[in-house]
Homo-oligomer: A and B are copies of this chain.
Amino acid sequence: MKWARFEADGAIVYGIVEGEEIAEVRGDPFSDYALTGNRQPLAEAKLAVPVIPRTFYAAGLNYAAHVREQAERRGETPNFPPQADIGYRANNALIAHGEPIVIPHDATDQVEYEAELVVVIGKQARRLSEADALSCVLGYTIGNDVSERTWQRSDRTLWRAKNTDSFKPMGPWIETDVNLEDMRTAVRLNGQTTIEFETNAMLFGVAHFISRMSRYLTLYPGDMVWMGTEGKSPQMKDGDVVDIEISGIGVLTSPVIRETAADD
């Protein structure tokens, strides 16, 4: 089942994607819902970010080649994370499928995409074993962890590098039925495939992260966990279009524009 959020009569509502249409619901996937009977053609719907989380978790370094590539760029030996320590991103940066990534005019050219699997929590959870961890998951969507690499190195935190407005495209919807073992992530920059990798080839998997997190913290419906990315990314520039496809979920598309100093 595919859960989307979209505009209907000026409000943002949830709906279920059925073929080429969205069937509107009253309520949401985290509690009760009922079909309203209203339907919209999917192609004409203005999609919204599929969920605004209470807390926005992100695994960060979680694929081997990406850890090696990031270290090489800094002239360091790769430092694989010894344990699953979750990090954070910020809600201000979220944008929907189709909305533009806006590069600030004072950013360098080193603005890169990171294609990520996003886990959406459906039920409140604490102290889940690894075997039970996936029981709290509603479904999965796609995230693009856009990063300005010079700010990532110079600033004390990741605030500008990762959380500038529009730096977290997410969508197009939440797919509840996936097989984690059988998914591939592919990125296309202006239609050219730049990387393709096995989605689940993570250093620490979804169940391990959720179990470990839930030992110390309560997960809430709508919380989400971005699972990290693989490999290395070319830079994105004004006029580019980046598509991230995860098989079994869909395609997240983002045009890229660069702000001019005059916009300031």
**Which residues of A come within 8 Å of B, CB atoms?**
52, 54-55, 60-61, 81, 83, 85-88, 90-93, 104, 126-127, 155-157, 159-160, 163-165, 213, 216-220, 223, 264
Chain B nearest CB from A187 CB (Å) reads 25
Chain B contacts for A160, CB-based, 8 A:
85, 216
B88, A165: Cβ atoms closer than 8 Å: no
Main secondary structure of the interface of A (DSSP, over half): loop
B55, A54: Cβ atoms closer than 8 Å: no
Give the copy number: 2
Q: Can you name 9 A-B residue pairings with CB atoms under 8 Å?
A: A60-B156, A88-B90, A88-B157, A90-B217, A92-B218, A92-B220, A93-B217, A126-B165, A159-B213
Which of A83, A216, A218 gathers most chain B CB within 10 Å? A216
Chain B contacts for A61, CB-based, 8 A:
156
A85, B165: Cβ atoms closer than 8 Å: no
A104, B60: Cβ atoms closer than 8 Å: no
Chain B nearest CB from A195 CB (Å) reads 24
Chain B contacts for A86, CB-based, 8 A:
157, 159
A156, B81: Cβ atoms closer than 8 Å: yes
Chain B contacts for A216, CB-based, 8 A:
104, 159-160, 163-165
Chain B contacts for A219, CB-based, 8 A:
92
